[in-house]
Chain A
Amino acid sequence: GAVVSQHPSRVICKSGTSVKIECRSLDFQATTMFWYRQFPKQSLMLMATSNEGSKATYEQGVEKDKFLINHASLTLSTLTVTSAHPEDSSFYICSARGLAGVIEQYFGPGTRLTVT
């Protein structure tokens, strides 16, 4: 089946620094990738939709200058949290859809970000 990986799985960074999270589709080409965040015991909230070779589309209320998304290839999208603050601590999950005729999105294992 389709596999999506994320790296790192856990990251701790200091307030004010930036951290990059990678999302890779391992065995298929993902024309579209999605970035979600999930606070403890809450649901997934879509942050942005990332299309290969074009600018990401951000959801209302998500700061595009703070959460930089790059989808430079059909197998890799990155999310960079710039000038991180403790309130950015969350579980970030990516998903990908690219297989023709496949309906579901395949999710990565998630990245737990802790900002101290």
Chain B
Amino acid sequence: AQKITQTQPGMFVQEKEAVTLDCTYDTSDPSYGLFWYKQPSSGEMIFLIYQGSYDQQNATEGRYSLNFQKARKSANLVISASQLGDSAMYFCAMREGQIQGGSEKLVFGKGTKLTVNP
């Protein structure tokens, strides 16, 4: 079974509008971390945002916020005020176990290609 599921192969959004990229995960470990990375066409992976399983509040980083619904095992990325430069692949990833001493392996979803239209 897939540990990270991103059901949207592609998404389109108008410039300056908000967009939500979906991510659901599967784990039986009570300690885990969820990440979102952006991969432009150049290939590098850019870290966007992190949510720990015990974090009480949803993570936010500038225009990025993570809608964390633990009971539903979802960690959707919300990008507000989309910009043309946001066009890229977006990957959701999970690391299981404690931050210290746990597994450091990241498992990635298949990604969502976001296109921002002018």
Q: Does A42 contact B (CB under 8 A)?
A: yes
Asked if B35 contacts A43 (CB within 8 A), the reply is no
Asked if A106 contacts B47 (CB within 8 A), the reply is yes
Point out the residues of chain A lying under 8 angstroms from B44, CB to CB. Answer: 107-110
Given contact pairs A103-B99, A109-B42, A43 touches B111 in the complex (Cβ within 8 A)? yes
Size band of the A side of the interface? 20 to 34
Point out the residues of chain B lying under 8 angstroms from A107, CB to CB. Answer: 37, 44-47
Q: How far is the CB of A8 from chain B (nearest CB, A)?
A: 13
Q: Does B84 contact A (CB under 8 A)?
A: no
Docked pose: A64 CA to B108 CA in angstroms: 22
Interface string of B15-58 (1 = CB under 8 A from A): 00000000000000000010101000011111100101000000
Q: Does A75 contact B (CB under 8 A)?
A: no
Q: How far is the CB of B98 from chain A (nearest CB, A)?
A: 11
Docked pose: A95 CA to B46 CA in angstroms: 11
Name A79-116 residues within 8 Å CB distance of B.
91, 93, 95, 97, 103-110, 112
Size band of the B side of the interface? 20 to 34
Q: Does A18 contact B (CB under 8 A)?
A: no
Asked if A104 contacts B50 (CB within 8 A), the reply is yes
Name B79-118 residues within 8 Å CB distance of A.
91, 99, 104-111
Point out the residues of chain B lying under 8 angstroms from A46, CB to CB. Answer: 105-107
Asked if B109 contacts A43 (CB within 8 A), the reply is yes
Point out the residues of chain B lying under 8 angstroms from A93, CB to CB. Answer: 43, 45
Point out the residues of chain A lying under 8 angstroms from B99, CB to CB. Answer: 103
Q: Does A15 contact B (CB under 8 A)?
A: no
Q: Does A70 contact B (CB under 8 A)?
A: no
23 contacts between A and B (CB under 8 A): A34-B104, A34-B106, A42-B110, A43-B91, A44-B91, A44-B106, A44-B108, A91-B43, A93-B43, A103-B33, A103-B52, A103-B99, A104-B35, A104-B47, A104-B50, A105-B104, A105-B106, A106-B47, A107-B45, A108-B44, A109-B43, A109-B44, A110-B44
A residues sitting closer than 8 Å to B (CB atoms) are 32, 34, 42-46, 49, 91, 93, 95, 97, 103-110, 112
- Return the 4 tightest CB-CB contacts between A and B, nearest first: A107-B45, A110-B43, A109-B44, A104-B47
